[in-house]
Amino acid sequence: MHVYILKTLLAPTFFYSHSTVHPIAKRFLRVSKMAICRCGMETTKLTSWTDRNPGRQFLNCSICGFVRWVDPPMCARALVVNPGLIRSMNRLEERVAIASAELWNYRLILFYSWMCFLFFLTSKDLDGNRIGGGGVLLYASN
């Protein structure tokens, strides 16, 4: 069905080629047909992320600049809702990236503070006595 829709959309300007597939592999793989532009080059399938066509796929020829939509146009409601959803998703992804960077910084700070603490516990003064309080009372109660 997808190929049929693609053929009807692109019939006047494109023809299709496909590679031969072993008969056993045909059961497991869907044979994908490539759209070839009238200039003879393979087209590239791209996705539009503009406000008027969010998520809509199209074929583009890099040589002659030909463009043909693959997906049907979106309904009016989708044109209103999708850009807002995409913007909110992008904002959330930015917040996650910032939170991940902050978490990494906190982990580094925690690691270095533990290293300093362990260094303090194992260090000795010039006389060879342990500074880190190995068995010494830190405060005395009355």
Across the range 71-83, mean pLDDT stands at 81
Task: Indicate whether 13 pLDDT > 80.
Answer: no
Query: Taking phi first (over 0 means left), then psi (-120 to 50 degrees means alpha), and beta for anything else, what does residue 73 get?
Result: beta
Q: Distance (Å, rounded) from C-alpha 55 to C-alpha 29? A: 25
Q: What is the pLDDT of residue 113?
A: 95
Q: Work out the number of other CB atoms within 10 angstroms of the CB of residue 68.
A: 17
Task: Indicate whether 26 pLDDT > 60.
Answer: no
Look at the block and give the residue holding tokens 């030909």. Answer: 66
- Domain spans in the chain, listed from the N-terminal domain onward: 1-73, 75-122
Please give the backbone phi and psi of residue 33, each rounded to the nearest 5 degrees, phi first.
-100, 135
Q: What is the pLDDT of residue 134?
A: 53
Task: Indicate whether 43 pLDDT > 90.
Answer: no
What confidence tens digit (pLDDT) does each residue in 78-103 have? 878 888 888 899 999 999 999 999 99
The residue type at 87: R
Name which residue leads in pLDDT, 27 or 98: 98
**Residue 60 CB contacts under 8 Å (≥ 6 apart), including other chains:** 43, 44, 45, 46, 66, 67
Q: Distance (Å, rounded) from C-alpha 25 to C-alpha 43? A: 25
Asked whether 57 and 47 are in contact (CB, 8 A), the reply is yes
Q: What is the pLDDT of residue 115?
A: 93
Cα-Cα-Cα-Cα torsion 46, 50, 52, 57, nearest 10 degrees, comes to 10
Q: Is 85 helix (H, G, I), strand (E, B) or coil?
A: helix
Task: Indicate whether 140 pLDDT > 60.
Answer: no
Task: Indicate whether 112 pLDDT > 50.
Answer: yes
**Residue 68 CB contacts under 8 Å (≥ 6 apart), including other chains:** 9, 10, 13, 14, 35, 43, 58, 59
